[in-house]
Amino acid sequence: MTSWRGLLDSGYRSRLPVSAATPTVSLHEGNTPLLHSPHLSALTGCDVWLKIEGANPTGSFKDRGMTVAVSRAAEAGAELVLCASTGNTSASAAAYAARAGLRSAALVPASGVARGKLAQAARYGAQIVAVPGSFDDCLRVARQLASAPGVALVNSVGNELRLAGQRTVAYEIVDALGSAPDIHCLPVGNGGNITATWEGYVAYGRGLPRIWGFRAASPQTEATAIRIQSPASWEPAVAARDASGGLIESVSDTAIFAAYRELGRHDGVFAEPASAAGVAGLLALHAAGRVAPGQRIVVTLTGNGLKDPDAASDYAVVDVDTFAGSLAG
Ligand SMILES: *Cc1c(COP(=O)(O)O)cnc(C)c1O
């Protein structure tokens, strides 16, 4: 068996918007685990699978689109890769830019970016630019700066290259399961990933799931990857929802963090808080009697829990005598 060399060279090059002249800028992204969840299957009476996107090279699904966007930026002779980001896009853009020998800069909200993501962007050599306000303000500034010479803006908004790369998650799921699931659950921030996931199933032509997307109910959610006030790709996200006969609903931070803990404790998967929104939504709909039993369900876990250590810092530590005493029972 030859080893995996990423989406462009091992995966789905013929389905991606690159030509023979496009250099491959890759960190061997994609080919992530699709893990069965006995716990969630038992809870829901369904057959539930987890797509572990935190296993990508920089720890989120953003790498799927970034290999395409930065390969094309390199082909076009760009000098600087620019993005607005709640954190994961900047980490991914910086890593792929480093790989391509390009400079990168990330416009991030002055507060509310998880520590691990900033650490990544810094180590990958990005210039980190703090913008007062929210992600929405970062995106506005990024669009203004994008017209400078040599700058490639790699946000997913209207970026066919990023979305084409992100479609590959559906190809991998269909290849692993043999056909599309009945339902695909995922978190929704700007709405790019729900759009790309749906388009992936449509393009692959081996069955269509209903797409269930979940946003954070609170605009100040602690699930910072989906702390988005006005989703930049809302129209295509709604179109994907409707074409699939699916839904987009909101989940509370209480539900998101409960699901975040359950994933670690019962499935051995440490996903970042935003990633748990798909599980939180599935469980909420199940509790409301809206999930018919016996369906095959895939849930995308979008990013790695290590990115946000502060979200996981509320644990107890006991001294060794207390522990030894508990064993003596
Ligand atoms: C980017 C991101 C999202 C949201 O994806 P959109 O395409 O903006 O809807 C969700 N979870 C994580 C971990 C992310 O990095």
What's the CA-to-centroid distance between 187 and ligand 1, angstroms?
7
Atom of ligand 1 nearest to the CA of 302: 13
**Residue (of 263, 225, 227) closest to 92 by Cα position:** 225
Q: What structural domains does the chain harbor?
A: 7-58+161-312 (3.40.50.1100), 62-158 (3.40.50.1100)
What's the CA-to-centroid distance between 304 and ligand 1, angstroms?
12
Which long-range contacts link 109-113 to residues 24+ away (Cβ below 8 Å)?
109/133, 109/134, 109/135, 109/137, 109/138, 112/86, 112/224, 112/227, 113/85, 113/86, 113/87, 113/224
Report whether pLDDT(158) > 80.
no
Per-residue pLDDT, averaged over 313-328, amounts to 94
Atom of ligand 1 nearest to the CA of 187: 10
| Cβ–Cβ under 8 Å, residues 64 and 169 | yes
Confidence of residue 37 (pLDDT cuts 50, 70, 90): very high
Per-residue pLDDT, averaged over 261-270, amounts to 98
pTM of the model: 0.96
Q: Which residues contact 259 (CB under 8 A, 6 or more apart)?
A: 276, 277, 279, 280, 283
Q: What is the H or E stretch that residue 161 is in?
A: helix 160-166
d(CA 251, CA 218): 8
**Residue (of 319, 308, 138) closest to 230 by Cα position:** 138
pLDDT attached to residue 329? 67
Per-residue pLDDT, averaged over 103-123, amounts to 94
Q: Is any ligand 1 atom within 6 A of the Cβ of residue 226?
A: yes
Confidence of residue 106 (pLDDT cuts 50, 70, 90): very high
Confidence of residue 112 (pLDDT cuts 50, 70, 90): confident
Report whether pLDDT(297) > 90.
yes
pLDDT attached to residue 156? 76
Report whether pLDDT(11) > 90.
no
Q: Is any ligand 1 atom within 6 A of the Cβ of residue 116?
A: no
Ligand 1 pocket test: pick from 50, 272, 302 the residue with the most ligand atoms within 8 Å of its Cβ.
302
Ligand 1 pocket test: pick from 56, 61, 159 the residue with the most ligand atoms within 8 Å of its Cβ.
61
Ligand 1 pocket test: pick from 88, 212, 272 the residue with the most ligand atoms within 8 Å of its Cβ.
88
pLDDT, mean over the chain: 96
Atom of ligand 1 nearest to the CA of 54: 13
Query: If you write DSSP's letter for every residue of 25-47 in order, what string do you get?
Result: --S------EEE-HHHHHHHTSE
d(CA 115, CA 159): 27
Q: Is any ligand 1 atom within 6 A of the Cβ of residue 277?
A: no
What's the CA-to-centroid distance between 179 and ligand 1, angstroms?
25
Query: Among the listed ranges 78-87, 148-157, 259-268, which one has the minimum average pLDDT value?
Result: 148-157
Confidence of residue 111 (pLDDT cuts 50, 70, 90): confident
